[in-house]
Structure 1
C-alpha cells in the first residue's frame, strides 16, 4: 500500500505543499521574503505564475550579468528548500534567522568560486574554476580546431555524489556558446573528471564539430588520453599554453 505522506505545508500547517506554495504563498516564507534586500523577492505577488516569475528573474540577472544578485536569489530559495527538507525528514527546528544564515553561507561559497574563476578565466561562466590548458584534437591533428571544450568535475568522498559540467567556446577568452551539466554518482575524483570529459566530447560531436581543443585542470586525464588512437579519433598532447 506504500508509505503515507503528509502533503500539508510543514511551515504553516494549512495548505497543500506544492512548489509555488513553499516559495510564494506560504505565510512563513512570504514574511521572510518581505524582509529580503532583493526587490525581486519582495515584489513577488501571490497571483503570478511562480515558474514564469523565476524564469524571468534568473534571465534578468543573467542578461545584466548581475551574478551577485543571482547568487542571492538562488541561495535564498535553496535555503528555504533545505530548511523544508530538514524539517520534513529530520524534524529540525527552523527560524527566519537560520534561513538567512544558510543563504548567506551559499552566497559566500558562490562568490569564492567565482573569484577563483575570474583569476584565470574572466569570461568563463560562474562556477567554472581555473583550468590548465591541456590540448587534444579529434581526427586529423594538423587541422585547426573548430571549437574549444572546457570541462570540470566535482566529487564528494562521503556519499560519492558527483557533478559534471562543460562548455564550448571559440577560444579560451571568448564567451561560451553552449554547454551542459549533469549530476550523478562516481567512484572517484578521476572518474568524475573522465565522465565530464566524455559528456563534453559527446556534446561536441553531436554539435557537428570534427576537431576540438580541450581545457582541463586534471593532469591524469591528459595522461590517460595521450596516445589513444582509433580510426575515428586521434588524441595527441599539444603542450601547455
Structure 2
C-alpha cells in the first residue's frame, strides 16, 4: 500500500483553512498564552525581571500589555473600526480583554465567518499581530501621524550642519555583550570623515543604543563639531529624548548624560532613518560586540 498524507482534523482527512483554524481554536495551548498573559510582550517580560523597554512599538506612547497591543493602542483602534474584514466586530472596553476576545471568537465561529476568524486567530502570535497592523494601509498612514521621524534637540531649524553623525549599537541577550559604532559623514555627501567603535557589556538593547549615542556625541564634541545632524534607526530613542520619563534606572542616567552633553552643541537634530542607512555604524558595532575590535577611533 502506498503512503499518503492525510489531515486528521477534518472528517474527509483533507486539509482546509477552515478546519485548520477550527483546530487551533479548539486547542487551548494556542490561546493560553494570550488569555493568561504569557505572551513575550515587553510589559510581561519586565514583570518577570527582564530589563526591557516597555514602550509600545506601534504608538510609542504607552506600556505594552496584552490589552494595549491587541485592543487599546491608537493604531489598533483605528484598524478595528476601519479595516473592512473586521470593522463589523464590536470592540468592547466594558469587560476584560480575555472575556471580549473569547466572545468575538465564539461569535465568529457561530456565524461561520471563517475569513475573519482566520485574521483574528493570527493575533495569537504577538509579533504576527504587529506585522499585520503595520501592513494595513490605514495603519501605515496612522504611523506617519503617531511616530515622529525627527526631533530638534538644540538650536533652530534654519541652522547649517557641520557633520552627519551616524551611530548604532549591537547587543546579544544571552551573554550581555554589546558593541557601539559611529561614523562622521559629510552633511552633503557620503564621504566618511572618521568614526569609532567600542566593546562593552549592557543589560538591554535600548541601553546599548543610549550608551552608543553618548559616546558618539562625546567623540563629536572632542573633534570640535558644533552643528550635528544625527541618524539613528532607534525610534524609541527619539521618544525618550523628547522628555518622556524612563523607568529603567540604568537608562535614566544615560539619558541625563546625553541631555547634558547636548547643551555643548549649537544645533542638534535627530532623525529616525531606515536600518540600511546606519549599516556602516552597525558593522563597527558588530565587530566590537564580537570582540574583533575592542576600542577604535579616527
> TM-score, normalization: structure 1?
0.39
Higher relative contact order (CA 8 A, sep 6+): 2
Q: Rg larger in 1 or in 2?
A: 2
> TM-score, normalization: structure 2?
0.32
